[in-house]
Each structure stands twice: as structure tokens, then as C-alpha cells.
Amino acid sequence: MPLLSTVGIEGVIPFGALFRYLHYYAAQFTFLFLFWHTTEALWARSYQRRHFFHWFLLTSTYPLTILALFTGYIVRGDETGLSAGRIAENLILTLPFFGKILNRLFFAVSEEGIHRAYITHIFLSFVLFFLLGIWHFRLRKIKLEDLSLWATGALALSLLWPPPLEAPHFQTSLKGPWFFLGIQELLRYLPPFGAGIIFPLIPIILLVFFPRAPKRAGWGLLLWHLFYFALLGRGLLR
């Protein structure tokens, strides 16, 4: 059982539990800061100083980071992670032509368990860390000391609120990761292809083409996020 490997990290490796907690909260901070940084870049109109291809490469880090975070939940191997992986697999298989290829590339939970998700998580994490690290620490001259505040915050959360692990048990309703709850809630009202493929693609497309139509894309992003936060809130309260 994959969950035993995660529990083994905490019970066998010295300070294993602390490192797992730090890894968990650092990933949450990465996603939240990416959201903040993207909003800041749009507000500062930094897209006007970049070629469209460079802007496309920059916005592509958004879905890749979310995928790295999501596969990290799957790799935990607990009830929430595996259930989220099975839902994601079923959603991506609704994509015509490329669904099976993408599922085989990123998830394949029903065939391989967490192994494919583990490879995806490790590969994307190192690629994003390497590329973004070069850009921010070498080209933008950001120092490691600038991250000390957020590292301290992650350490404090790790000591005060250890992230849970859910052992397999019977539940009539199972909630996925917090950032996935909006999609999970929308699945109650739309078919899987609409809720799991079309809807999440909307903000990515709007980000990519933001330089071509900033006003329309900006309103589209605002309305999409307001709607998604409403779905997220409803999912959390359900």
C-alpha cells in the first residue's frame, strides 16, 4: 500500500515527519505565491515588455506547477490522494484523441498506482525548480535570504498543524485537495468533459492571450475566479 511508504518516512527516517510537513506547506506556498505573482505581473502590465512567445512560456508554468502539486497529493497514497488521482484519470480520459496518451503520461493510477504520478511529480518539480531558480536567483538577483520569512512560516505551520493522512475507510462523501474542490463541486452540475477539461482550460487560455486583449481577458479571469471561489467555498462547507 502506498500509504505505508509515506507513514514509513515519518516513523523510520530521522526527522522524516518534519521534512514531509515542510514539503507539504512549501508546496502550498508555491501555489499561493504563483497566484499572487501572476496577479502582480498582470497588474504591472509586464506582458507589454515581453515577446508573445516568452509570455506563453511564462504562463505555461502555471498549469505545470498545479500538476506538480496535484501529483504530490496522489503520491501521498492516502484515501484523499488516491481518490483524487482516480477522479483526475477519469476526467482526462474524456478528452478526445489525446486523453489516453496524457493519462498514460501523467497518471495511469488504475494501472500503475502512484508510480506514474510519482515520476511526473519528481520530474516537474525538478524542472520547474531548475528553470525558475535560474531566472529568479541568477537573472533577477533574488537572494536566498529573501525566502527566510516564508521558510519560517512553513516551519511554524509544520510544528503547529501537521498535514493529515487519511487511512482507507468507508465514506459516503470524500473531499479532494482544497484547490481541487471547485472542480469536484462543478462535477455535480456539468458533465466531466465540461467540468474537468473545458472549465479549467479557460483561465489558461485567457492568460496566454492576455497581451492581445487585456481588458476582455482581465474581466474573464476575474469572473472565472469569482465563480471558482464560490464553488470552492460551497465544496468546503458541504
Distances (CA, A) of 102 to 82, 168, 194: 18, 27, 17
CA 128 – CA 26 distance, rounded (Å): 14
- Spatial separation of the C-alpha atoms in residues 7 and 78, rounded to whole Å: 10
Nearest CA-CA partner of 20 in 37, 3, 35, 34: 3
- Identify the CA nearest to 222 among candidates 206, 235, 238, 237: 206
8 A C-beta contact, residue 39 and residue 112: no
Could you list the mean pLDDT of each consecutive 10-residue stretch along the chain, which spans 238 residues? 65 78 85 83 82 82 88 81 84 89 88 85 86 69 69 82 67 70 90 92 92 91 94 86
Contact 78, 167 (CB under 8 A): yes
Count the neighbouring beta carbons within 10 Å of the beta carbon of residue 145. 7
Q: Say how far apart CA 200 and CA 133 lie, in whole Å.
A: 27
CA 176 to chain centre: 12
pLDDT at residue 203, rounded to an integer: 93
Q: Which pLDDT value is given to residue 198?
A: 93
- Residue identified by cell 537573472 is 139
Contact 154, 22 (CB under 8 A): yes
Determine the pLDDT at residue 201.
93
| Cα–Cα distance, 209 to 218 (Å, whole number) | 10
Give the whole-angstrom CA distance, residue 121 versus residue 116.
Answer: 9
Q: What is the pLDDT of residue 177?
A: 78
Per-residue confidence (pLDDT) for residue 34, from 0 to 100: 82
Q: What is the pLDDT of residue 151?
A: 78
Q: How far apart are the first and last CA of the chain?
A: 29
pLDDT value at position 163?
79
Which pLDDT score, from 0 to 100, does residue 156 have?
A: 85
The Cα-based distances of 80 to 19, 89, 152, 165 in angstroms read: 20, 14, 27, 8
How confident is the model at residue 174, as a pLDDT? 67
